């Protein structure tokens, strides 16, 4: 049997190769260790290759100072806020309350090369040396300051949605209009991104609001029945008549989807000449005076009466400071933009339509819907009378001892209202409330120095207020 032995030189060649490999490994390890210690920075110096948002931190300089400079430059860079290209205001992020966590960025920048574990130190130094260790400035920006600066301009930029309108006769639909509102939260997010990216312009953000009474919803409505109607007569100063027509037009064809709530003031808008209203007499704190929009309350009262008898939910309503000549006490509604409002909600499971029209000095308001699920009765009685008082005002333009009646006094009263609502299931709901109409004071203009008791007739408060309202029900 023959044995074959390996050549004697083979082990020496293998050992030689292993020795070379070990030496190379030791050399690489030693080089890495040498690199780790060679690049170990001074206490406030970043390791070689560490970057701050893509820019290498300077060697031999304070990392804290460099990061603070970068943070301050970002916080003090002005940004211009634009609304569809129109400048609104300019402010620095610092003025808007922005903050940058400098301490966190410094700690991150100084970490490579300072780990206790040698392997971690080697790894971090190697990563930094390759230029892939990048520190970012952690920025924050609260919403409050930007929201406050947008408060004033948002009054012009915000636009409430307008539901579709439906003309019951002929089923003519006026398309809806989307609403648009300033979005302070999204604007803050845009400003924060712009600050981080070094941009000096920020576009204001908006969000759209689509009304539930959309064009499609109005077109899908079928012809309904009349739930209730009310009529009042008017005629007088031209401005007052025009104001009544203007307010009635703003409400005509209004569609309320199930659960929808409508605000009289929101639909009619400010009573101003810019909004199509005219000067006319109005009641203010119990006195008659000239103001823009006089007559609008008659529209509110007429609509309120129709809404009440239709069975809609009245969310907000206030009676006048004195009885009105065009409607009986207990059925009036006073409005004053933007303080006093008439707000109504549709409680039914089907849409309703408000139809307002004017014909030969008469204002008509009617509520249309799929069916008439409720009937409403109203009973009123005078529960109290308040006698008026006299007020004296001095007028220098009057002749000596002269006087002039400026406003006739009227007794006030309280009206007790009992509203009974009957649904189709035979259930009855009773709501009792009281409307109070303070007395309207008598006002006399008297010349300076004159004795009112000597020149004015005796105060007479025997006149009863406008008579008892009685009872009413259903469409009128």
pLDDT score of 462: 67
Spatial distance between the Cα atoms of 318 and 268, rounded to a whole number of angstroms: 17
Residue 474 has pLDDT above 50, yes or no: no
- Amino acid 10: pLDDT: 42
| 27 pLDDT more than 60 | no
- Ramachandran region, residue 438 (left: φ > 0; alpha: ψ -120 to 50; beta: rest): beta
Distance CA 162, CA 353 (A): 14
**Would you place residue 406 in the very low, low, confident or very high pLDDT band (cuts 50, 70, 90)?**
very high
> Which secondary structure element, helix H or strand E, spans residue 238, and what is its range?
helix 238-251
Domain residue spans in the chain? Answer: 30-167+184-211, 221-473
Q: Which residue did the predictor score with more confidence, 126 or 100?
A: 100
Q: Which has the closest alpha carbon to 230: 374, 344, 343, 355?
A: 355
Q: What is the pLDDT of residue 18?
A: 44
Q: Provide the percentage of residues in the chain whose pLDDT is more than 90.
A: 71
Could you tell me if 87 and 165 are in contact, meaning their C-beta atoms sit under 8 angstroms apart? no
pLDDT in the model for residue 30: 56
pTM of structure? 0.72
Question: What three-state secondary structure class fits 97?
Answer: coil
Report CA torsion sign: 50, 52, 58, 62: negative
Query: What's the average model confidence in pLDDT over 58-68?
Result: 92
167: CB partners within 8 A, 6+ apart: 173, 174, 252, 253, 355
State both tokens at 367. Answer: 């509520």
Report CA Rg, the chain: 40
Which tens digits make up the pLDDT trace of 414-427?
999 999 999 878 89
Give residue 15's pLDDT band: very low, low, confident or very high (50, 70, 90). Answer: very low
- pLDDT for 6: 47
pLDDT tens digit sequence for 262-281: 999 999 999 999 999 999 88
Asked whether the predicted pLDDT for residue 28 surpasses 60, the reply is no
What are the C-alpha distances in Å from 378 to residues 286, 421, 430, 440? 26, 9, 10, 26
In residues, how long is the chain? Answer: 476
Q: Which stretches does DSSP call E strand in 44-140?
A: 51-52, 55-56, 79-83, 86-91, 99-100, 134-135, 139-140
Mean pLDDT score, 130-134:
82
The predicted pLDDT at position 42 comes to 77
Evaluate the CA torsion angle 168, 169, 173, 178 in order and state its sign.
negative
Per-position b or e across 144-180, b if 16+ CB within 10 A of its CB? ebbbebbeebbeebeeebbbbbbebeeeebbebeebe
Tokens read off for 83: 């609304």
User: Which contiguous run of DSSP H or E holds residue 305?
Assistant: helix 296-310
The band of 290, judged by pLDDT with boundaries at 50, 70 and 90, is confident
Concatenate the DSSP letters of all residues of 203-223 into one string. Answer: EPPEEEE--SS-HHHHHTPPP
Average of per-residue pLDDT across 154-173: 91
CB of 149 closer than 8 Å to CB of 184: no
The per-residue pLDDT for 55 is 92
In the predicted structure, residue 448 carries a pLDDT above the cut 80: yes
pLDDT above 90 for 40: no
Q: Could you give the percent of the chain with pLDDT greater than 70?
A: 87
Q: Which of 45-54, 423-432, 467-476 has the lowest average pLDDT? A: 467-476
Supply the pLDDT for residue 38.
55
Q: 386 burial class (0-12, 13-18, 19+ CB within 10 angstroms)?
A: middle
Name, of 23-32, 37-46, 186-195, the range with top average pLDDT: 186-195
127 has pLDDT over 50: yes
Work out the mean pLDDT of the chain and round it to a whole number.
Answer: 87
For residue range 201-230, what is the model confidence (pLDDT) as tens digits? Answer: 999 999 999 999 999 999 999 888 999 999
CA angle 434, 438, 439 (to 5 degrees): 140
441 or 342, higher pLDDT: 342
Pair of tokens at residue 306 = 């129709």
């Amino acid at each position: 049997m023959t044995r074959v032995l390996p050549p004697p030189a083979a082990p020496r060649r293998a050992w030689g190769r292993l020795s070379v490999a070990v030496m190379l490994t030791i050399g690489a390890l030693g080089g890495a260790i040498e690199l780790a210690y060679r690049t170990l920075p001074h206490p406030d110096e970043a390791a070689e290759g560490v970057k701050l948002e893509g820019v290498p931190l300077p060697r031999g300089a304070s990392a804290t100072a460099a990061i603070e400079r970068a943070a301050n430059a970002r916080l003090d860079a002005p940004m211009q806020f634009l609304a569809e290209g129109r400048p609104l205001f300019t402010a620095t992020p610092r003025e808007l309350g922005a903050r940058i966590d400098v301490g966190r960025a410094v700690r991150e920048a100084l970490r490579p090369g300072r780990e206790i574990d040698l392997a971690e130190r080697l790894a971090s130094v190697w990563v930094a040396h390759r230029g892939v260790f990048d520190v970012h400035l952690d920025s924050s920006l609260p919403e409050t300051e930007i929201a406050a600066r947008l408060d004033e301009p948002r009054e012009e930029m915000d636009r409430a949605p307008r539901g579709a309108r439906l003309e019951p006769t002929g089923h003519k639909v006026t398309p809806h209009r989307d609403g648009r509102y300033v979005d302070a939260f999204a604007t803050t997010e845009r400003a924060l991104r712009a600050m981080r990216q070094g941009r000096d312009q920020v576009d204001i953000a908006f969000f759209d609001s689509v009304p539930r009474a959309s064009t499609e919803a109005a077109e899908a409505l079928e012809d309904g029945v009349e739930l209730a109607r009310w009529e009042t007569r008017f005629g007088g100063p031209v401005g007052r008549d025009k104001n009544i027509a203007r307010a009635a037009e703003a409400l005509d064809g209004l569609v309320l989807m199930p659960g929808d709530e409508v605000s009289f003031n929101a639909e009619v808008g400010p009573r101003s000449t810019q909004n199509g209203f005219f000067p006319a007499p109005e009641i203010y704190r119990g006195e008659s005076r000239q103001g823009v929009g006089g007559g609008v309350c008659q529209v509110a009262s007429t609509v309120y009466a129709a809404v009440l008898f239709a069975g809609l939910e009245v969310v907000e309503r206030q009676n006048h400071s004195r009885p009105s000549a065009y409607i009986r006490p207990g059925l009036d509604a006073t409005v004053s933009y933007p303080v006093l409002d008439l707000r109504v909600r549709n409680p039914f499971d089907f849409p309703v339509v408000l139809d307002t029209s004017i014909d030969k000095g008469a204002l008509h308001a009617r509520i249309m819907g799929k069916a008439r699920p409720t009937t409403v009765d109203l009973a009123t009685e005078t529960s109290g009378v308040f006698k008026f008082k006299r007020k004296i005002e001095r007028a220098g333009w009057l002749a000596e001892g002269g006087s002039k009646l400026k406003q006739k006094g009227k007794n006030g009263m309280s009206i007790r209202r009992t509203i009974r609502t009957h649904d189709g299931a035979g259930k009855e709901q009773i709501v009792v409330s009281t409307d109070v109409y303070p007395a309207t004071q008598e006002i006399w203009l008297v010349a300076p120095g004159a004795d009112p008791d000597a020149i004015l007739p005796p105060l007479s408060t025997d006149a009863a207020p406008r008579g008892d309202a009685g009872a009413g029900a259903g469409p009128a």
